[in-house]
Structure 1
Amino acid sequence: MSSETSLPLLAIAAAATVTYALRLGGLLLSDRLPKTGRFKQFMDALPGTILLSLIMPAALSAGLWGWIATICTALCSLRTGNIFLSMLVGVVIVALSRNYGL
């Protein structure tokens, strides 16, 4: 195997090793974390803040229709609790707005 083909494979293997080591570390540490108090409140809020940090830049850059799609997705999720349906609503709104040049 030449160095041209082995270097990407080595990078992929290293990335996979680090990823699974982080996951395993999280599982092993989870029993030692506090189950009450401020730390638990922080950890409970973390998934929502990460989700917002991923959604907000895209919504801001997409303009008005991005905001409309984001709001409709959030409302659908709150009303139905169905994540797939909520994502579908947002994607359809953005696709229609882009297709019709809105």
Structure 2
Amino acid sequence: MRGPRALLATVLVCEAIVIALAIPVAVAVLKVDGGLAGLVCGGLAVVCVLMAGLLRFPWGVAAGSVLQVAVIATGFMVPTMFGLGILFGVLWAGSIWLGRKAEKAQAR
């Protein structure tokens, strides 16, 4: 799955930015402990950026798919992340689909 890597990496980096921006919302608005919010959201943001670089490995797309579930789960801390996580999951799935479609077109 070489084709969609750039698109998938873009989704992950944008996702990292959104997750990182959820930290101040969790702390200031929802009164979540700053250490917990930083650990969970900050940790996931770092993992998203790292996964963007690890997409070159055969297991990268599968690991990124598991990461999408973890991002949706941040909705238990910041409820808006349920919707945003689902949105990024749809972007992730769409990127995989478009990448496979492009690979088939190039093979012809």
TM-score by length of 2: 0.32
Q: Which has the higher contact order (CA 8 A, sep 6+)?
A: 2
TM-score by length of 1: 0.34
